[in-house]
Amino acid sequence: MNELFSTLSDGTPVHRWTLERAGVRVRVLSYGGIVQSVEVPDRDGRTADVVLGFPSVDGYLAHPEPYLGALIGRYANRIEGGRFALDGRTYTVTPNEGANTLHGGARGFDKRVWDAEPVEHGVRLSRVSPDGEEGFPGRLETAVTCTLDASGALHLAYEAVTDAPTVVNPTNHTYWNLAGAASGTPATGHTLRLAASRYTPVDARLIPAGDAADVSGTRFDFRAPRPAGPGYDHNFVLDKGVTAGPEEAAELYDAESGRVLTVATTEPGLQVYTADHLAAGPFASGAGIALETQHFPDSPNRPGFPSTVLRPGEVFRSETVYGFSVR
């Protein structure tokens, strides 16, 4: 279902798409490609919204920095110093976190209105990012297709093409709270499991500090399920690497409701953010956990990391699947 949801101050309409299948209801906004809500049942069949979101566009405009539910691009995570070199040329991109560039710059994909069209069991969002937008080279055509499969799992399939060499690293920034977004229960009490034997250490600026490190014997070891706890805004190096199809990377579980979220992806990394600094409307520190499937932070400046370079004639493809169940 498609409905007119709001109108921005410049007159641009914002539409909301509602997807329903197998007892799951998802609402997606054309503004920022935002996943506004995901309603799923608990073990007793009681349905609740399990993502942090606002009832109106005004909430997202007033609180843009948490990126609640938004599509992130062109480049998710951080680029050190707001610059990178590609084919012998240095590009300067908009710094918006001190000297660094975070989540695509001052006005990334999360603050744009996307075109939207129906597809079977979902909606296809698309937009053209012109050459030089936020300093990134190349005219980038991007599409994200959001669908529900027969089990009620939410699929986000990304595609992009460019007319000049560039870097691309999109993700989705939904914050999950399986007890219910309105429950008041911190998501940091959820049990988390990650298929990751390494993580990316960072400095005080959250820029990678050297190579990936072994999680063994550290607080970053989630190979066996344990409470998430606070204090995480880190990239985990998934054991599977880049894959042709989505493979399971993470599981989040709320024992009280019985709800289980599984995350499968083609991406090589997963940024876990426990929202330690969240302050947006009714949502405070630890109210949700973001599980951002992506390539690694600052990859354009790190030759040893999986490449995020996209060239003319190539098609960037990525897919992440969020599955819902109970136990």
Q: CA 172, 173, 179 angle in degrees (round to 5)?
A: 115
Q: Which two three-digit tokens encode residue 35?
A: 């996943």
**Residue 221 to residue 226: CA distance in whole angstroms:** 9
Render the burial of 130-141: b for 16+ CB within 10 Å, e for the rest: eeebbbbbbbbe
**Cβ atoms of 262 and 221 closer than 8 Å:** no
Measure Cα distances from 101 to 45, 53, 157, 296, 297 in Å: 43, 24, 25, 14, 10
**Residue 7 to residue 56: CA distance in whole angstroms:** 10
Catalytic residue IDs: 173, 292
**Cβ atoms of 101 and 299 closer than 8 Å:** no
Phi, psi of 293 (to 5 degrees): -80, 130
